[in-house]
Amino acid sequence: MGSSRLRQSSLEERYRKCLRISLTFLFSQVGLIGLVVAYSAVGAVLFEWLEADQEIEPRRKILQIRLDCLDDLNRLNRQRQFDNNSNDELWAINAGALLKAFETQVVKATKVEGYDGKEVDDAERQWSVSGSLLYSITVITTIGYGNLAPKTGPGKVVTIIYALIGKTKHFHCAIVRSDIVCAVYQSAQHQPTPFSAAFSNIVPCEPHTSLEI
């Protein structure tokens, strides 16, 4: 009975020690940077999964609209060919109306649904792994990335949540980087180099207190 309690106490102490070491590493310089890198990679996979199909769907829709428009134009041409009383002016009006309707649908798909003017079988995609990675990085750094933005409802919601969590991690990582810069600067002050004169008028900064677990 006593040995069982001792073994359980030893296991609990080992778990606490592992947890303490893990948390200390996560909030260390290397841990925070690694956490931001991993968080960005997870965001890349997540945004690609949410938005890749939505990027292809407008291409399929425009392809079908184009085929329907061609069918209607061919029908008008056949009517004109076999109708001896066909009116060229009427044909031009009807064909122009079909083309105008096609143009309106393309413009709407571009503005509302994110149609990018590419074909369905085009291998180039905005929401590839690399594009999604750049987007996830810009979300947490707030620097922006072109005109790339989620079109789906879940993608927009995930962006908000992802940004709220990611900005905190990026802020902590920025503090860590500032500590490193301060340490390098202070080290350079104590060890004169040809570049020391360039920093001679800069007021030294104090590194932030690291988190103790």
Name all domains of the chain by residue range, CATH numbers in brackets: 10-199 (1.10.287.70)
Which stretch of 50-59, 128-137, 174-183, 199-208 has the lowest confidence by average pLDDT? Answer: 199-208
pTM (whole model) above 0.75: no
Contact between residue 169 and residue 35 where contact means Cβ atoms under 8 Å apart: yes
Q: Please report which confidence band the pLDDT of residue 29 belongs to, taking 50, 70 and 90 as the band edges.
A: low
Q: Which of 162, 213, 206 is nearest to 186 (CA)?
A: 206
Instruction: Give the HSE-up count for residue 148: Cα atoms under 13 Å, Cβ half-sphere.
Output: 24
Block residue for tokens 């931001």: 36
DSSP string, the chain: -HHHHHHHHHHHHHHHHHHHHHHHHHTSHHHHHHHHHHHHHHHHHHHHHHHHHHHHHHHHHHHHHHHHHHHHHHHHHHHHHH-TT--HHHHHHHHHHHHHHHHHHHHHHHHHS---S--TT----TTSHHHHHHHHHHHHHT---TT----SHHHHHHHHHHHHHHHHHHHHHHHHHHHHHHHHHHHHHHS--TTGGGGTTSPP-PPPPPPP-
Q: Which of 118, 74, 123 is nearest to 95 (CA)?
A: 74
In the predicted model, what is the mean pLDDT of residues 56-64? 87
| pLDDT given at position 45 | 92
* pLDDT tens track for 90-141: 888 888 999 999 999 999 888 887 787 788 777 677 788 888 898 988 888 8
Which stretch of 59-68, 177-186, 201-210 has the lowest confidence by average pLDDT? Answer: 201-210
| pLDDT given at position 124 | 74
Which of the two residues, 182 and 203, has the higher pLDDT score?
182
Q: Is the pLDDT of residue 212 over 90?
A: no
| Mean of per-residue pLDDT scores for the chain | 76
Q: Please report which confidence band the pLDDT of residue 213 belongs to, taking 50, 70 and 90 as the band edges.
A: very low
At 79, list the tokens: 């009517």
Greatest alpha-carbon pair distance for the chain in Å reads 108
In the predicted model, what is the mean pLDDT of residues 78-83? 78
